[in-house]
Structure 1
């Protein structure tokens, strides 16, 4: 079967040879910036606005995993120089960040050991993703890492009765936080699609379907604004973090970028399932996208996506975060591929022009992580430029099929 390409036809949007060349160059530029994140104590650290390593910042699990994943994709795409980066990530995940006593991975480590020893589903989902990509890239230790991560996922995080993952355990796996969250489940879907492609185990693709179906159901019942926060019985907590609306991982209200990210993931899942895919995956992807654009883009009169909105769609945190635009680009490109509707290519063109003007930092490197409501550089939610994951994937999406997932597609020679 011919892969369903994410790219529109050659007359518009991401399909033009010139733009594909631009995306290829941007991918290389992002990887070059991120090379400096190797921490001398092991793993990948935090970068400031100029790409300098902030050595005093803890090495965080999610960041180390994301960098390992990006390096593996770059290696698969032909950049042999990133092999050492993948190996660094695998080594840190098997050693420095791993809890050899209780199993699983610390959320963050410093010079003297763990500084945050909670076992977070969010970070563990990225261990699955990093291990899958490293395994597809053929790196030593990746199979053992993935086997370990899957054992922890199966035993500690996945809840068969719920069809979802739980969120945060203590170090010894004795106390489970009452909080349940959609963010960790979203990245688990991404990881499980990659795991299914690498291992051939359909069980993980079906888990991704169960998670996605539940989230789309919650969104459909809430005007397509995804409830993000829940108690231990999966009852929504609509006022959660009202006093801390700009939280990096658990902000109050509806998170515009997550609606866009779920839109893309629903399409990826539908493509992976093929003829067995429920129609509501594509329908839900379109509804989430439309709602996010209506609520989030230029919501206060200036270009850019706001970070969050209230439950009536009005802006709450008006900062413009780079990852939201990246996910918008990925979703628009994917929806054009799935539907052929010209409006999606038009959105893509608008947002790429915005990114080129406001986010791509051609002097300092990478993408500016945060802008204020007037599109000036800011640092109220995020400081520095620690993460290239969202931007890197955004510049790959228009050049790849909807399925299989990133590492498998590149390994199979499907990068256009």
Structure 2
């Protein structure tokens, strides 16, 4: 699907802005390289150091492998070896050779979560596009595990988590894991040519967004029981949980808005029916999140979470929320050409530039307090490259195909 014609004055049409995006992406990468440890990639502190005794974690290993694959696709030297290091970890220290699937970290303990396995599929697909030799075997493993354990054809969504031996299933369904599955499925469709992944992504989006979120005025419901009954009081005692916070999470509304547009474009490009509600719901999610989360407590920025009266719960400003907000604004601007999204796009970048980008210490601050000062109550350190790096790449590319494939096509055209 081709986007709308952009105003010549749009930042997305300005060579200087596009160069700024590229330069900021290049600035982030050397900081992130420091995350390499023997068995994968681990969390970095605010100065870009690895804590003594740190172990490789699946979340960082998958996300770094994905991002370094994107860097390699762009022709940046030195990143192929990092992709290969991540692939080796995902087929070695983090892989459960007894039961299949991936451990959450190199201690090889705990259960198996859909959220983390979606990132394995994303990393494998990006490495496949990057042409890394070990990628196809990992991709085959990831698809096999998703098919065998997580995807529920009956539900049209992913089951959430299991014990390490797959015998015990958590009686919970989560929007976050299914949102990242939607992202991964778009990538799987590109690398496999199998439109079944697009249809699965559409079923997830229809359940969580068109059915549940749209019915609540485009507020994303995050937590459900195993029968998909909403759990609005889930984690009421752990309101600042970094993965399953209480209430609504505006950052996920932005992320969903962008993914709906990618899905619509991918379906159209594949010759499949692309429902009109994908664009309508993307607009609704973005509008509601902006209206209720921006300056929700009187200060600039987007708050982390809101209660069901749309009052701030956790007032911290997280970098990933703002990265997803600017990426969603760019996607809606590309899709519609409307000035409203240009205004938000510029406003979000202005805030990121003023408060999150850390030119002295490197990378971006991951968290700010309610006075927009660096903080660490939810996200200590600077372990994440994924959200910021994607926010710098996505505005430069078409809505489909998915990021790695689009980058490869863009490089080929140049």
TM exceeds 0.5?
Answer: yes
2:10 aligned residue (9, 12, 25):
12
Equivalent position of 2:338 in the other structure:
341
What's the TM-score once normalised by structure 1's chain length? Answer: 0.96
Instruction: State the 1:6 CA deviation.
Output: 8.9
Q: 1:64 to 1:7 in 2, by over 3 A?
A: farther
Equivalent position of 2:153 in the other structure:
160
Mapped contact 1:6–1:334 kept (Cα < 8 A): no
Instruction: State the 1:5 CA deviation.
Output: 5.5
CA distance in 2, matches of 1:150, 1:76: 22
Equivalent position of 2:128 in the other structure:
135
SS across alignment from 1:47? coil
| 1:223 equivalent in alignment to 2:217 | yes
Equivalent position of 2:201 in the other structure:
208
Instruction: State the 1:224 CA deviation.
Output: 1.2
Equivalent position of 2:239 in the other structure:
245
Equivalent position of 2:364 in the other structure:
367
CA distance in 2, matches of 1:10, 1:390: 28
SS across alignment from 1:238? coil
Equivalent position of 1:34 in the other structure:
32
SS across alignment from 2:101? coil
CA distance in 1, matches of 2:359, 2:282: 33
CA distance in 1, matches of 2:331, 2:318: 21
Q: 1:319 to 1:142 in 2, by over 3 A?
A: same
Equivalent position of 1:89 in the other structure:
86
- Provide Cα deviations, 1:267-305, integer angstroms capped at 9, x if missing partner: 000000116210000000000000100111111111110
CA distance in 2, matches of 1:13, 1:305: 22
Mapped contact 2:320–2:366 kept (Cα < 8 A): yes
Mapped contact 1:86–1:134 kept (Cα < 8 A): yes
2:137 aligned residue (125, 133, 144):
144
1:66 aligned residue (63, 66, 85):
63
Mapped contact 2:39–2:55 kept (Cα < 8 A): no
Higher mean C-alpha displacement, 314-323 vs 8-17: 8-17
Residues 384-399 of structure 1: matches in 2 within 5 Å?
384-399=381-396
CA distance in 2, matches of 1:351, 1:259: 15
Q: 1:54 to 1:272 in 2, by over 3 A?
A: same
Instruction: State the 1:311 CA deviation.
Output: 1.2
1:315 aligned residue (312, 329, 350):
312
| 1:125 equivalent in alignment to 2:118 | yes
**Root-mean-square deviation over aligned CA pairs:** 1.4
- Provide Cα deviations, 1:212-243, integer angstroms capped at 9, x if missing partner: 11111100111211110011111110000011
Instruction: State the 1:58 CA deviation.
Output: 3.1
Residues 255-334 of structure 1: matches in 2 within 5 Å?
255-274=249-268, 276-334=273-331
Q: 1:134 to 1:88 in 2, by over 3 A?
A: same
CA distance in 1, matches of 2:353, 2:134: 38
SS across alignment from 2:79? helix
Mapped contact 2:113–2:162 kept (Cα < 8 A): yes
Instruction: State the 1:320 CA deviation.
Output: 0.1
Instruction: State the 1:211 CA deviation.
Output: 0.3
Mapped contact 2:172–2:223 kept (Cα < 8 A): yes
CA distance in 1, matches of 2:323, 2:244: 19
Mapped contact 2:264–2:275 kept (Cα < 8 A): yes
> Runs of 5+ in structure 2 lacking a partner?
none
Higher mean C-alpha displacement, 262-271 vs 58-67: 58-67
What's the TM-score once normalised by structure 2's chain length? Answer: 0.97
Instruction: State the 1:16 CA deviation.
Output: 1.2
- Provide Cα deviations, 1:190-229, integer angstroms capped at 9, x if missing partner: 0000010011011111100100111111001112111100
| 1:381 equivalent in alignment to 2:375 | no
| 1:194 equivalent in alignment to 2:191 | no
Mapped contact 1:107–1:117 kept (Cα < 8 A): yes
Q: 1:19 to 1:156 in 2, by over 3 A?
A: same
Higher mean C-alpha displacement, 25-34 vs 127-136: 25-34
